[in-house]
């Protein structure tokens, strides 16, 4: 009996020791990240031409094997980059939705890490036990125009059964040929997801997909759940409360669900939103740290000791976030005051080449929004909402516009200027809306679907403005302001 207690104690202590080692590695990974970051991929709008030179670089590197495993509809190569000598195959693919690039960037960070001389002890362990296979940017045609679907207009993630897309066919063929033990299915989700009943964005969401309508848990699914519990504990350190659990309703046409069914423990990772991280570079870093830590725990088998029940303790994903929530606003209609909250989002509109974007603000909900949250929340109690007026002097061109002091104009109640010679673009650098000469000055309108642009007055003084969905402090700095609009 005593011997048994002693043995159990030893086992527990050694598990603690192992997990301690993993934890140390995780914090080192976080600290040293900049060393491995692939700096050429620093924006979300990345294309096949951006990753091609990187793939070629690893092709020439003897540590890696690069195989062309398929082609997109428009003829872009799909490459599988492999490293390791282990019997256990781990397969990671990203961006099957063309506008979901965060993990593609993280994959190249991970490849740089694997190529380096650092962390040699841990890497030796990983590459002896596992062979890692990366398929970055599964949907390059979608990435080209920054859209979810492929060139046929198909959502590849609903094509796991019919397999009409060459990209989906490639994914299935590679999965089958590797018979991978673990599969990382890497996506982005809307930045408007939050962890249920909190104002925290779901910076990362996880799912161990179900393989039947009953949502049963076999060993394949349980192992994915255990690794997710481990990854959640890592994200909690760097983004407390900012993890969500995706709905596990069975979707018979989706890849994750089928890959679990085919015998690979599928781990779905969704990169969501993070305050003031428009290009998701902090989230990319969290992908890097948590995926590498997960690979390490798969290599040394630590995840086996994790209680599968803990998976359900991760809060569910919800979609109750706005970019800006304005609460307790008094709005007058036909001479009567009403108390309303406004939910405001900023939509991204791409340029023609899909290399950059500007924002268009939109009121997406109105009324009692007390169950919703904002990345930014403003309590408008005691403020009066008024429309900005037209600046009396006509502006000649963009050059003279650049010289305007928008904050002082807003303070005086001006919200609009007319410009004689308009530029080609539809956005401005300042929170001062530009109108074409013949355009009438917009009236105050806070209906759903409208662009939120108005002033917030207290005791007759303009203290704040909302311009194109951005809250502007008229007496302070506004570092998050991106663009105003031009009405042609």
The residues that touch Zn ion, with contacts defined as CB under 5 A, are: 97, 100, 187
- Is the Cβ of residue 110 or residue 138 nearer to Zn ion in the bound state? 138
Count Cβ atoms within 10 A of the Cβ of residue 221 and give its class: 0-12 exposed, 13-18 middle, 19 or more buried. buried
Residue with Cβ nearer Zn ion (99 or 122): 99
Angle between helices 281-300 and 120-129 (to 10 degrees): 60
Strands 414-419 and 433-436: parallel
DSSP 181: S
Q: What is the closest distance, in whole angstroms, from the C-beta atom of residue 421 to Zn ion in the complex?
A: 43
**Which lies closer to Zn ion via its Cβ, residue 43 or residue 148?**
148
For residue 41 the two structure tokens come to: 């991929």
**Contact assessment for residue 415 and residue 433, using Cβ atoms and an 8 Å cutoff:** yes
Enter the DSSP assignment of 275. Answer: T
| Phi (first) and psi of residue 322, to 5 degrees | -120, 160
Instruction: For Zn ion, give the closer residue by CB, 94 or 233.
Output: 94
Give 271 or 462: the residue with its C-beta nearer to Zn ion: 271
CB of 272 to Zn ion, least distance (A): 11
CA distance 486 to 488: 6
- CA dihedral sign of residues 97, 103, 105, 109: negative
Q: How far is the CB of 189 from Zn ion (least distance, A)?
A: 7
Q: Do 296 and 442 contact (CB within 8 A), yes or no?
A: no
Closest by CA position to 194, among listed 374, 319, 323 = 319
Tokens representing 185 are 């299915």
Minimum distance between the CB of residue 397 and Zn ion, rounded to whole angstroms?
Answer: 43
Question: Token match 């991204």: residue?
Answer: 348
The residue among 100 and 122 lying less far from Zn ion, judged by its C-beta, is 100
Token pair for 53: 């030179």
Nearer to Zn ion, 97 or 284 (CB): 97
Shortest reach from residue 104's CB to Zn ion, in Å: 12
Question: Long-range contacts for 339-342 (Cβ within 8 Å, ≥24 apart)?
Answer: 340/366, 340/367, 340/446, 341/366, 341/367, 341/368, 341/369, 341/370, 341/372, 342/366, 342/369, 342/446, 342/452
Q: How far is the CB of 244 from Zn ion (least distance, A)?
A: 15
User: 159 or 341: whose CB is closer to Zn ion?
Assistant: 159
User: Is residue 81 helix, strand or coil?
Assistant: strand
Q: How far is the CB of 312 from Zn ion (least distance, A)?
A: 23
- Which residue lies nearer to Zn ion by CB, 226 or 284? 284
| CB-based closest residue to Zn ion | 187
For residue 289, the minimal CB distance to Zn ion (Å) is 21
Q: Residue 63 Cβ, how far from Zn ion at the closest point, in Å? A: 30
């Amino acid at each position: 009996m005593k011997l048994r207690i002693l043995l159990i104690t030893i086992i527990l202590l050694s598990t603690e020791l192992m997990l301690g080692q993993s934890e140390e590695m995780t914090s080192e990974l976080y600290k040293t990240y900049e060393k491995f970051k692939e700096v050429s991929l620093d924006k979300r709008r990345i294309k096949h031409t951006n990753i091609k030179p990187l793939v070629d670089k690893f092709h020439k590197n003897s540590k890696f094997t690069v195989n062309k495993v398929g082609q997109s509809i428009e003829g872009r190569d799909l490459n599988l980059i492999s490293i390791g000598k282990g019997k256990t195959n781990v397969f990671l693919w990203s961006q099957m939705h063309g506008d979901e690039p965060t993990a593609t960037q993280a994959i190249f960070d991970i490849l740089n890490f694997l190529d380096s001389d650092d962390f040699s002890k841990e890497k030796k362990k990983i590459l002896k036990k596992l062979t890692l296979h990366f398929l970055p940017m599964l949907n390059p045609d979608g990435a080209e125009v920054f859209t979810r679907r492929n060139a046929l207009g198909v959502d590849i993630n609903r094509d796991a059964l019919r397999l009409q897309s060459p990209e989906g066919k490639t994914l299935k063929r590679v999965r089958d040929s590797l018979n991978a033990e673990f599969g990382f299915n890497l996506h982005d989700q809307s930045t408007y997801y939050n962890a249920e009943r909190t104002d925290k964005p779901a910076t990362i969401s996880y799912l161990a997909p179900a393989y039947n309508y009953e949502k049963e848990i076999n060993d394949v699914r349980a192992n994915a759940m255990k690794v997710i519990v481990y990854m959640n504990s890592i994200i909690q350190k760097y983004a407390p409360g900012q993890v969500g659990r995706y709905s596990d309703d069975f979707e018979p046409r989706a890849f994750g669900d089928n890959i679990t069914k085919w015998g690979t423990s599928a781990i779905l990772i969704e990169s969501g939103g993070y305050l003031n991280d428009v290009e998701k570079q902090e989230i990319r870093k969290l992908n890097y740290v948590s995926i590498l830590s997960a690979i390490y725990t798969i290599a040394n088998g630590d995840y086996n000791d994790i209680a599968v029940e803990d998976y359900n303790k991760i809060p569910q994903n919800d979609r109750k976030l706005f970019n800006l929530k304005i609460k307790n606003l008094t709005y007058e209609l036909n001479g009567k005051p009403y108390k309303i909250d406004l939910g405001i989002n900023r939509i991204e509109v791409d340029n023609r080449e899909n290399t950059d974007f500007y924002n268009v603000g939109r009121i997406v909900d109105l009324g009692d929004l007390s169950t919703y949250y904002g990345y930014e929340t403003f309590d408008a109690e005691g403020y009066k909402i008024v429309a900005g007026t037209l600046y009396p002097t006509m502006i000649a061109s963009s050059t003279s516009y650049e010289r305007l002091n928008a904050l002082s104009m807003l303070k005086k109640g001006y919200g609009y200027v007319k410009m004689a010679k308009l530029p080609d673009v539809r956005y401005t650098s300042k929170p001062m809306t530009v109108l074409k000469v013949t355009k009438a000055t917009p009236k105050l309108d806070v209906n759903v679907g409208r662009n939120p642009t108005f002033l917030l007055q207290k005791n007759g003084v303009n203290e704040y403005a909302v311009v194109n969905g951005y809250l502007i402090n008229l007496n302070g700095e506004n570092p998050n302001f991106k663009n105003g609009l031009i009405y042609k």
